[in-house]
Copies of this chain bind each other. A is one copy, B any other.
Amino acid sequence: MIAEDQESGAAAGAVPHVVIVGAGFGGLYAAKALADAPVRVTVVDRRNHHLFQPLLYQVATAVLSPSDIAQPIRSILSGQKNVSVLLGEAREIDLDARAVVLDGERLGYDALVLAAGTSHAYFGHDEWEPFAPGLKSLEDAIEIRRRVLLAFEEAEREKDPVRRKALMTFVVVGGGPTGVELAGAIAEISRFALAEDFDRINPTKARVILLEAADRLLLTFPEKLSKKATAALERLGVEVRFGKPVTEIKPNVVCLGAEEIPAGAILWAAGVKASPLTRSLGAPIDRAGRVLVEKDLSIPGHPEAFVVGDLVSLTDSREKPVPGTAPAAMQEGQWAAANILKSVTGEATLPFHYRDRGNMAIIARGSAVADIKGLRLSGSIAWLAWAIVHVLNLIGYRSRLVVTIHWVWSYLTHQRGARLITNRASPSHTV
């Protein structure tokens, strides 16, 4: 129970020390794949919980609670005797000295798995962030929920009809899976869950605008499914607009060139950038900061250091570009772990081979699109497939049961169980 000196790597004993930075899908699956292996593992994360990110938009839109989709990293890994978990932020990776630099601590390693993930990218306009939060953490989700619900509350108290209309306008920037989910979910809240609850306003008249600078939604899907998604959103009353990039975001105003859209809440789902850790590596990175790794997922020149998850920029052994998705991160985490064990026994590492099991995006209750090895589904069958895949992949029986209950309840009643405005006592923002 008492601390070993974690400073030293192999020197501490015969057992090699693997440090995993980040306990998202990539890092967690690497740690699990090293269970019972002849290594000791330290997982470092600045949060105490693993987050099931594919359902994060449901926290932002009041269907689920934070604890439904987040689990303490310690309790996930507590059965695994060779793993230690540390709460802390990796500030730098010293590849030459083989050490991860934390606040006030250096963790020496024999092998590294870098799985620190991505954050929002505002394309050089970080000043937009306070006005248009993105969706990456539980705090982000709670903030988005707060802003959307608060806009309706402020509209109820607003007497000026122009300002009231502005408060009831929601703009989602970016038509990828997260933007589609958020726009669909906000339209559903206003059409159903909130419909009967106000006196002075009619929530079903809320405008939801989804802005995509390209000419279609869900660029990673076949064009036919993009069209289906657009049509499904439009049936819900979402205004989908293509081809005009956002030129500026001010408090409660989105600008598209000369056009200004006043809004009660603006949400950002337009881009991600790699953890700043990759810039300290001295390794080749792409424009988004992702590492151009070797085919075996290692950093060029550092066969003991692997990168997994959204930080990876790679075309795999069959020349397929690997997407930044949860399934790809899980596979990379396991692959990196396998390659580390090969290095330990002196075997050659293997080039990563991505198994593409398909692509899904949810639009609303009973509506999704899925592209599974050429099989293109939409509507309620795609939605059912989405729901099953996501419940089965949640960690922990309790989460699966509780999430299923929330979904069934929400499906039957159109209500939202987590309609809480927290973290600010009083309404504070104005149009």
Q: Measuring CB to CB, which residues of chain A are less than 8 angstroms from any residue of chain B?
A: 1-3, 46-49, 65-68, 70, 72, 74-75, 78, 84-89, 103, 105, 138-139, 142, 149-150, 153-154, 156-157, 159, 194, 196-202, 398, 401-402, 405-406, 409, 415, 417-423, 425-427
**Bound complex: CA A347 to CA B270 (Å):** 64
Q: How far is the CB of A157 from chain B (nearest CB, A)?
A: 6
- In chain B, what residue has the closest Cβ to A195? B78
**Bound complex: CA A72 to CA B89 (Å):** 36
Identical chains in the assembly: 2
- In chain B, what residue has the closest Cβ to A2? B200
**Bound complex: CA A159 to CA B1 (Å):** 12
Given contacts A197-B78, A401-B405, contact A420 B49 (CB under 8 A): yes
Q: How far is the CB of A323 from chain B (nearest CB, A)?
A: 27
Given contacts A3-B159, A199-B1, contact A48 B405 (CB under 8 A): no
Q: How far is the CB of A328 from chain B (nearest CB, A)?
A: 25
Contact B156 A86 (CB under 8 A): yes
Contact B67 A139 (CB under 8 A): no
Given contacts A48-B420, A72-B197, A398-B417, contact A86 B157 (CB under 8 A): yes
Known contacts A65-B67, A75-B197, A87-B157; 11 additional CB pairs below 8 A are: A65-B66, A65-B68, A72-B419, A84-B200, A87-B154, A87-B426, A87-B427, A88-B427, A142-B422, A401-B405, A402-B417
| A425 surroundings in chain B (CB, below 8 A) | 46-47, 89
**Bound complex: CA A142 to CA B138 (Å):** 13
| A139 surroundings in chain B (CB, below 8 A) | 422-423
Given contacts A1-B199, A68-B65, A105-B157, contact A48 B421 (CB under 8 A): yes
| A197 surroundings in chain B (CB, below 8 A) | 72, 74-75, 78, 85
A-B contact pairs, 26 of them (CB 8 A): A2-B200, A3-B159, A3-B200, A47-B421, A48-B153, A49-B420, A49-B421, A65-B65, A65-B68, A65-B418, A66-B420, A67-B417, A67-B418, A70-B420, A72-B197, A75-B415, A78-B196, A87-B150, A87-B156, A87-B426, A88-B427, A139-B423, A398-B417, A401-B405, A402-B402, A423-B423
- In chain B, what residue has the closest Cβ to A83? B199
| A88 surroundings in chain B (CB, below 8 A) | 157, 426-427
| A72 surroundings in chain B (CB, below 8 A) | 197, 419-420
Most B Cβ at <10 Å: residue of A65, A138, A150: A65
The residue from B70, B85, B154, B409 contacting A398, defined by CB atoms under 8 A apart: B409
Contact A420 B87 (CB under 8 A): no
Q: How far is the CB of A331 from chain B (nearest CB, A)?
A: 27
The residue from B46, B418, B420 contacting A426, defined by CB atoms under 8 A apart: B46
| A70 surroundings in chain B (CB, below 8 A) | 420
| A154 surroundings in chain B (CB, below 8 A) | 87
| A159 surroundings in chain B (CB, below 8 A) | 3
Contact B420 A67 (CB under 8 A): yes
Q: How far is the CB of A17 from chain B (nearest CB, A)?
A: 13
- In chain B, what residue has the closest Cβ to A146? B48
**Bound complex: CA A361 to CA B88 (Å):** 38
The residue from B47, B67, B150, B199 contacting A84, defined by CB atoms under 8 A apart: B199
**Bound complex: CA A425 to CA B138 (Å):** 10
Task: Please provide the 4 A-B residue pairs with the shortest distance between their CB atoms, ordered closest to farther.
Answer: A67-B418, A74-B197, A65-B65, A87-B153
| A199 surroundings in chain B (CB, below 8 A) | 1, 84-85
- In chain B, what residue has the closest Cβ to A3? B200
Contact A419 B75 (CB under 8 A): yes
**Bound complex: CA A199 to CA B6 (Å):** 12
- In chain B, what residue has the closest Cβ to A102? B157
Q: How far is the CB of A67 from chain B (nearest CB, A)?
A: 4
**Bound complex: CA A426 to CA B200 (Å):** 42
| A201 surroundings in chain B (CB, below 8 A) | 1
